[in-house]
Amino acid sequence: MDNFTFYAPTYFDFGRNAEEHVGSLIRRFGGRKVLLHYGGGSIKKSGLYDKVVKCLDDEGISYGELGGVKPNPRSGLVYEGIEMCRDEGCDFILAVGGGSTIDSAKAIAAGSCYDGDFWDFYTKKAVIEKALPVGTILTIAAAGSEGSTNTVITNETTGVKTGAGSDLLRPKFSILNPELTCTLPPYQTAAGATDIMIHICERYFSNTEEVEITDRLCEAVLKTMIHETPRVIEDPHNYEARANIMWAGMLAHNNVCGVGRVQDWASHHIEHELSALYDVTHGAGLAVIAPAWMRYVLQINPHKLVQFAERVWDVLPQAESGSGTDEETALLGIEKFEAFLKSIGMPLSFAEIGADAKDIDRLTEKLLAGKETEGNYVKLKAEDVKCIYRSVCED
């Protein structure tokens, strides 16, 4: 186990009607003038917007508002938010929405306290040293941004989609009411579930040995997702299944499932190029890439894939039967994972997400810009990445 630090000081208020506490939570964490940040019209249609505004009014909290966050959130709106925060003297950002809205809010929070271009944090030219406090009301279980240090933004000028992170970006509070996710359509629900599972996989596939506790936690979240996801696809209004997924989504990305080890993150980065270029739903892109990544790295470094198959997918150890091999065990696990993704309506190929084999060189070049390799479980060179992309273009 590697040395690590872990600091996750977000206050979570979880359950039915939790959003009613938003006013008092903002007060508790020192907010007086709020930037209310959200996406499209869904929170207005659902009545959540009115509820939130009423809570702020009841608590006497003034606010400016900035809607319009899109999936794969863009730099343009971040600049707008930074300007608003400065002009209106906002001292707190409330994100109401999914991971895109929260990521955008985090970018505004850091950018507002920085004299330069906020994009410097994403190019690693600058380190986040200060940020406005952020609170969230989560409406989609997926990105885990409600408990994480991270933010991913797409730069509209360059087409680069990339992340920044800091302990300063952990939300002060996050309100998680599973009821708010019950109206989410099956495709978005499944894409969110896939994102959650791959957040775990990125942490699980590690060559750091002897981190049994973290392995077991990862497996716990994956097992939960395997159990609960089909239940919400079947019945979107299943509160209990939604609740388990919502909390699993937070745990999958606040890094409690990642400490003490080198993490991978190749699948996410390989996918980011797809969502940057084709604007595909991140989770759907991951459903295409992650199993393909697994099949590819299996040939090079099978050991953790064997454990994944046995412990997560209950595959019987093939080698023990005498006639099989560990690789066969691992492959059966990957096949079960692919079947699972298919069963919840996720794509598994380039064709299904509108991606095109002719872009593979370009995707790879952007991914590796300035880097020799991608990922850690297996260090992938350009040709490896192309093989992974190509493997999902066939048939």
Q: Which is nearer to a copy of itself, 10 or 46 (CB)?
A: 10
Q: Is 214 exposed, middle or buried (0-12, 13-18, 19+ CB in 10 A)?
A: buried
Could you give phi then psi for residue 304, rounded to 5 degrees? -80, -25
Per rule CB under 8 A, is residue 13 in the interface with a copy of itself? yes
Per rule CB under 8 A, is residue 259 in the interface with a copy of itself? yes
Per rule CB under 8 A, is residue 140 in the interface with a copy of itself? no
Per rule CB under 8 A, is residue 28 in the interface with a copy of itself? no
Q: Is 9 exposed, middle or buried (0-12, 13-18, 19+ CB in 10 A)?
A: exposed
Rounded CA separation 364/375 (Å): 13
Rounded CA separation 247/55 (Å): 24
Per rule CB under 8 A, is residue 61 in the interface with a copy of itself? no
* Given 54, 125, 130, 216, the residue binding a copy of itself (CB under 8 A): 216
Per rule CB under 8 A, is residue 12 in the interface with a copy of itself? yes
CB of 215: closest distance to a copy of itself in angstroms? 8
Q: Which is nearer to a copy of itself, 259 or 388 (CB)?
A: 259
* Given 66, 93, 141, 221, the residue binding a copy of itself (CB under 8 A): 221
Q: Which is nearer to a copy of itself, 224 or 275 (CB)?
A: 224
Is residue 247 within 8 Å of residue 176, measured between CB atoms? yes
* Given 223, 336, 366, 386, the residue binding a copy of itself (CB under 8 A): 223
Q: Which of residues 340-369 bind a copy of itself (CB under 8 A)?
A: none
Q: Which is nearer to a copy of itself, 167 or 356 (CB)?
A: 167
Per rule CB under 8 A, is residue 227 in the interface with a copy of itself? yes
156-161: long-range contacts, CB 8 A cutoff, minimum separation 24:
156/74, 156/75, 156/76, 157/75, 159/276, 159/277, 159/366, 160/122, 160/276, 160/366, 161/72, 161/272, 161/273, 161/275, 161/276
Spell 287-299 as b/e; 16+ CB within 10 A means b.
bbbbbbbbbbbbe
Q: Which is nearer to a copy of itself, 275 or 329 (CB)?
A: 329
Is residue 373 within 8 Å of residue 381, measured between CB atoms? yes
Per rule CB under 8 A, is residue 219 in the interface with a copy of itself? yes
* Given 127, 213, 300, 316, the residue binding a copy of itself (CB under 8 A): 213
How many chain residues bind a copy of itself (CB under 8 A)? 42
Per rule CB under 8 A, is residue 16 in the interface with a copy of itself? yes
Q: Which is nearer to a copy of itself, 75 or 189 (CB)?
A: 189
Q: Which of residues 193-212 bind a copy of itself (CB under 8 A)?
A: 209-212
Q: Is 325 exposed, middle or buried (0-12, 13-18, 19+ CB in 10 A)?
A: middle
Q: Is 277 exposed, middle or buried (0-12, 13-18, 19+ CB in 10 A)?
A: middle
Per rule CB under 8 A, is residue 220 in the interface with a copy of itself? yes
Q: Which positions lie near a copy of itself, rule CB under 8 A?
A: 1-16, 18, 209-214, 216-217, 219-221, 223-224, 227-228, 240-241, 243-244, 247-248, 251, 256, 259-260
